[in-house]
Amino acid sequence: MIISNKAASEKRKDFRKALSNNRLLCFPGAFAPLIALLVEQNDFDGIYVSGAAISNEMGLPDVGLTNQDEVSRRAHQISRVVDLPTIVDADTGFGEPMNTARTISILEELGLTGCHIEDQLNPKRCGHLDHKILIEREDMCRKIRAASDAKTDSNFTLIARTDARGPEGLTMAIERAKAYVDSGADMIFPEALESESEYEEFRSSVNVPLLANMTEFGKTPLLNVVELEALGLNLVIYPMSLMRLALQSVESGLKKLKKDGSQQELTSEMFSRSRLYEVLRYENYNRFDQKVHNFMLPDEN
């Protein structure tokens, strides 16, 4: 009733099966459990939990200030309310290979479907900013091997993100991606590619599923699902789209409330009480409560 009806192992198995169907899967970013419910009820394929969204929700920039516990706890809160698979941004793995292995163990225990780790030096930067610094390829390969070895469910999807396109160029980003696959990555996330042709080159060079990041105001052109599927991409994430939409609406509402001194003119733009209760499955809770309230032990006589 208050958590997903589907076991984490089932979500992972279903996700792997969906990936094998060569259909583009769409994962909007959910920054709260309530948002994840809306994503699910609007028939998307899965949930993405953005590290930037977690940082921003806490009033922090996305520069590696959140820790393993904060990210894993929030990801669990979000993933547990839906039957959809949930992928989380695990930044740099929160440390060296042994720390990264522990991160994988924690996320697996908490029911996540998969995560991605990146090859930036900590403290990291948003993937669409300049002046990123990478760790050595061999060091990242050790992290990926440690993460892969830490998995107890083979269907937990380990995604290796490379930020090398900017600092080292496309050719070196592809070489890193190949090395990451050889080290145990199940999927590659090439961050901040700058054109369709770059995705084409990645697709022709890397033989595991590829993730596309369609974040707004970044270095990557905003391609639609038809274009991405034609390029052979397997998964697309929209990390901050819903948070940006929500923040724009909140700020507009605050300005009007301040100006008018009343929310009366804003009610038509609000999520209604009845719609909120519908999303939360309020009636299910009522039925559960009635069932418990009316429960009686059987007469032993």
pLDDT at 297: 65
Strand 47-49 relative to strand 25-28: parallel, antiparallel, unpaired?
unpaired
Contact 229, 24 (CB under 8 A): yes
Annotated active-site residue 161? The verdict is yes
Spatial CA neighbour of 120 closest among 137, 99, 98: 137
Annotated active-site residue 40? The verdict is no
pLDDT at 129: 67
Annotated active-site residue 48? The verdict is yes
Which one is catalytic: 176, 191, 199, 238?
191
Annotated active-site residue 89? The verdict is yes
Contact 5, 80 (CB under 8 A): no
Annotated active-site residue 116? The verdict is yes
Residue 117 backbone dihedrals phi, psi, to 5 degrees:
-120, 150
pLDDT at 301: 55
Which one is catalytic: 16, 74, 116, 128?
116
Return the structure tokens found at 83.
């039957």
In single-letter form, the type of residue at position 164 comes to A
DSSP string spanning 83-148? SS-EEEE-TT-SSSHHHHHHHHHHHHHTT-SEEEEE-BPSSP--TTSS---BPPHHHHHHHHHHHH
Query: Mean pLDDT in each 10-residue stretch from start to end of the chain (301 residues)?
Result: 81 97 96 98 98 96 93 98 98 96 98 97 74 93 98 98 96 98 98 96 97 96 98 98 98 97 95 94 83 69 55
Return the structure tokens found at 11.
């979500």
CA atoms of 32 and 20, how far apart (whole Å): 29
Strand 114-118 relative to strand 187-190: parallel, antiparallel, unpaired?
unpaired
From residue 2, alpha-carbon distances to 32, 88, 205, 238 in Å are 15, 21, 44, 26
Q: Which domains does the chain have, with CATH numbers?
A: 8-240 (3.20.20.60), 247-293 (no CATH)
Spatial CA neighbour of 120 closest among 90, 148, 87, 98: 90
Which one is catalytic: 76, 126, 176, 180?
126
Annotated active-site residue 191? The verdict is yes
Q: Tell me if the pTM is above 0.85.
A: yes
Strand order in the sheet with 25-28: 25-28, 235-238, 211-213
Which one is catalytic: 40, 45, 91, 198?
91
Each residue's pLDDT tens digit, 276-286: 999 998 888 88
